[in-house]
Chain A
Amino acid sequence: MTTQPFVNEPILELRRRDARDALLAGMAALEPKLPIRAPMLIGSDRTEGDTLVSTDPGDPDRLVALAPRATAADASRALAVATEAAPRWAATPALERAEALVRAAAWLRERRHELAALCVRECAKPWGEADADVAEAIDFLEYYARGAISLDRGATIIQVPGERNTMRYAARGVCVVIAPWNFPIAIPTGMAGAALATGNTVVLKPAEQAPACGAMVVQALRAGGVPSEAIGLLPGEGDVGATLISDPRVHTIAFTGSAPVGLEILRIAAEVPHGQRHLKRVVAEMGGKNCVIVDSDADLDEAVPAIVRSAFVYAGQKCSAAARVLVHAAISDVLVERVAGAVAALQIGQADAFGIDVGPVIEREARERVARYAKLAAEEGTIAARRDEAIPAKGWFCPPTVATGLPAESSVLRDEIFGPLLAIESVSSVEDALDRMDGMSHALTGGLFSRNPRTIERVAACTPVGNLYVNRHITGAMVGRQPFGGNRLSGTGTKAGGPDYLLAFVEPRVVTENTVRHGLVV
């Protein structure tokens, strides 16, 4: 099965009614099960609880999941189990581990409609985004399963007569996965899947906002045949994460989240506590402040919808989302007018209705944060569009907002806001735009609209971003097609869904054997 070449799991063809009906049926199947009891899973121990609660961001009165809150003692126990299980899982043939992942993918595929519904409920992902989340999780499993098999063959190195050189990749040990809520199925599956495929055992701490989605990931992996000792689940908040990352039994930390937390993890992981005989490795994906450059020769018919989609779909809550548009002065007025008009046409509402572009943000604090920046944008610049009138009474909704004329030093142009707020700046040239991009500490995604091959070449050559998208939207990286990850303070430079991602989860070992005996090569 794993010998078939990788292909992306098709997202649902939602332009067909039967595909939409299947998702609605998934929601109908899910609703009676709410709230879901998302357990803590340590080896074969299952603990339920209700101290951690997730609610529907569109209707905070609706409970989605109840989970226990893992303690430091739970974290320690989970690491003990994972440590003990590590040698056996590492010794399991790569092919068997890969087959377990592929079966986990099949488990997700069978339940994709209901899982998408769970993403809608727990994280307010609009249907298309929710479906893509599940498809991406399937992709990660299928892709890393294949990647691990080929990695297991080792690297090709130089051989000379009289010696035999091999370079193999061994599992590092225990991997702690700290996952975000914005891709509540895909990202934990990807990080845990990569670690497991390469023979590491995993303790997963899902986002506190999405314990039910996290539980599904672990359920899928275990159902696929990953031993319960090799994948543990610790629902909880930042404290349990902090306990995990400082523990000397941990070898690798895979993290996706905000830059402050990521930097703290890097700092703590750099310490070598008493008894730790290895260096921890951190795979961190830390968000962005992503710019789209629009040159004067851009096709605005394409640029405008792509910008609006990149900035506002899922309320801008993607690390790849567009936050700044740097548009050539010659077309800046037209672009602002058309973007403002397109923002006025955005469909704002509950994520469970088809056609919704902008749902609520994840939680109250997120709404307050976005509101703070929107207020600042109004004070420091000009508001070109703001959809206050379209905000539903219930739920953590933020009005999609477009600001222009912000001063260069404005924090609206610097900080990752992670909400539906887009700044448009007029620039004198592409060079001017590149200078502004170069002044930023984030370098995750970027966009360019230009129809001049020389401009495209120039921007591609000097932009620091990890993923540059030319003449299209800047979100929606596909596994295997757009390996994804940022540079600078956006991340450690690893590329999720790329050909070398798994290298972050292994340690290379070279063996050189002298095959000369008594002067003869034997």
Chain B
Amino acid sequence: MVADSEVLDIGRRLDAALPSAARHPMKAIDDRAMDLASHDAELRAALFRFVDVVPACRSVDDLADHLTGLLGELGSRPMPLDVALQMGRSKPGRAALGTAAAAGVRHMAHRFIVAETPREAEKTLRTLWEEGVATSVDLLGEATVTAAEADRYARRCAEALDALGAAYARLPAQPALEADSMGPIPRSNLSVKVSALTPLLRPDAPDLGKQDAGPRLRELLRRAREGDAHLHIDMESFDSREAVIELVLELLSEDEFREGPSAGLVLQAYLIDSPELCDRILAWAARSQRAQPLSVRLVKGAYWDHEVVDARQHGWQPPVFEVKADCDRNFEALTVRLLDARPHVRPAIASHNLRSVAHAIAANRATGADERDVEFQVLRGLGDDLQHALASEGHRVRTYCPVGDLVAGMAYLVRRLLENTSNESFLSEQAGGRPLEELLAAP
């Protein structure tokens, strides 16, 4: 049992360790833009639809045309946007507007996407490592609709494993990041998506996607084992959940992966049936003969809007909790279960919610385990402050670092922006000045 007073104490400490916004002047500008967007649903939609189309625009003129078209749909506009609309009426105005808008979007993208290629990401990875922060690199890409695209993504992943191996080999030792009491932890860590490894993920036929993605994922597991890297398989929408979970557990059960690599999967706490899935994962992990514990990244889940809209359009009960507090409570319950399941699993608590994080720290202490025996994960661009605070408080942190070009990254970027400006997001509540005690209260 975790005492709320302890959660509160830990939360206060973490909060005090958050760096002040003043240290990142550019970030403050972004935050203001996002704040503006989160208070006006129409504007938010227009801006995000613009961000979404930026990479597909062929010229600055085309950019300006899209921007003014989207802004023109708004009932009321904040003043600077009215100015933008007026600029769009002349050719030089459009050029200036298009250039500025593209630069704005690129700037925003760079906050969330570390580089275009793993090689170019090396500098960022090194800086983080030196600050005591590990990473998991995620290769952004266009949707996979053909076999060639699946092959290409698999090849990029293999190359990324090589590049990460080379980059991390050059870095000095960081003992705190390289082992916990369950054993060594690989430096290189790559997150992959099954939906990018096959064009055949079909909700009504999970076997199809499994069979098609299987050989590509098996190759990546081999590559990770050879390069002593950790391979993490992301979870996506509920449509692919069965295929992903079955594929990962089946492949990791194969004899050839008994000694490695270190691998992991994701548990999404927003799913109503996540406790049952947790049962299944823990039962598998307890039975598993593998040398390394299964890493389980506990997240709230990034496809909430999609799941709810999809279910509503079909007349189904959404598979996700619709009340945030229910999800938060489930997250805490699952946190405790994962911590209790050590050493079969290696829990990673991935949340930007200070309460959820503080709770996990308290719960870990309650088990008497070492502080390092639970990992915390944050997203690049969204969780930077929390990452600093956690690292400075001596916790083991891993930052999820997307890598890819702007075209490929746009879907990711828009999802992150929407998340950041959603009214229920912890970050926007925190930015909105809600008292710390309320933010840290039990859900």
Contacts and interface: CB of A to CB of B under 8 A. Distances in A.
A32 to B, nearest CB: 25
The main secondary structure of chain B at its interface with chain A is helix
Contacts of B70: 453
B205 interface: yes
List 7 A-B pairs, minimum CB-CB distance, nearest first.
A341-B146, A355-B205, A10-B315, A15-B203, A14-B204, A301-B143, A451-B53
Contacts of B52: 299, 451
A354 B204 contact: yes
B273 to A, nearest CB: 10
14 contacts: A8-B315, A15-B203, A297-B56, A297-B66, A301-B143, A330-B58, A338-B146, A342-B199, A344-B146, A345-B145, A345-B146, A355-B204, A452-B65, A453-B72
B242 A17 contact: yes
B314 A20 contact: no
Given A15-B242, A297-B62, A452 B53 contact: yes
Nearest to A451: B53
Nearest to A9: B315
Nearest to A353: B205
Interface string B301-322: 0000000000000111000000
Nearest to B241: A15
Nearest to A13: B316
B49 A355 contact: no
B2 interface: no
B365 interface: no
Contact of A347 (B208, B241, B314): B208
B56 A305 contact: no
Interface size class of B (residues with CB under 8 A): 35 or more
A345 B209 CA distance: 11
A34 interface: no
Given A301-B145, A342-B199, A454 B56 contact: no
Contact of B66 (A20, A338, A341, A451): A451
B411 interface: yes
A376 interface: no
B149 interface: yes
Interface of B: 49, 52-53, 56-58, 62, 65-66, 69-70, 72-73, 142-143, 145-149, 199-200, 202-205, 207-208, 238-239, 241-242, 314-316, 411
Contacts of B411: 301
A324 to B, nearest CB: 20
Interface string A355-370: 1000000000000000
A304 interface: yes
A448 interface: no
A127 B204 contact: yes
Contacts of A298: 56
A297 B53 contact: yes
A340 B148 CA distance: 11
Nearest to B311: A13
A257 to B, nearest CB: 29
A453 B73 contact: yes
A338 B316 contact: no
B143 A20 contact: no
Among B57, B143, B147, max chain A CB count under 10 A is at B143
Contacts of A302: 143
Interface in A318-344: 330, 338, 340-342, 344
Given A298-B56, A301-B145, 9 more contacts: A11-B315, A15-B238, A347-B200, A354-B205, A451-B53, A451-B66, A453-B70, A453-B72, A453-B73
Nearest to A330: B58
A304 B146 CA distance: 10
Interface string A2-14: 0000011111011
A300 interface: yes
Contact of B142 (A301, A308, A347): A301
A452 B72 CA distance: 11
Contact of A14 (B69, B146, B148, B203): B203
Contacts of B65: 452, 454
A302 B52 CA distance: 12
Nearest to B73: A453
Contact of A297 (B57, B146, B239, B241): B57
Contacts of B53: 297, 299, 451-452
Contacts of A10: 314-316
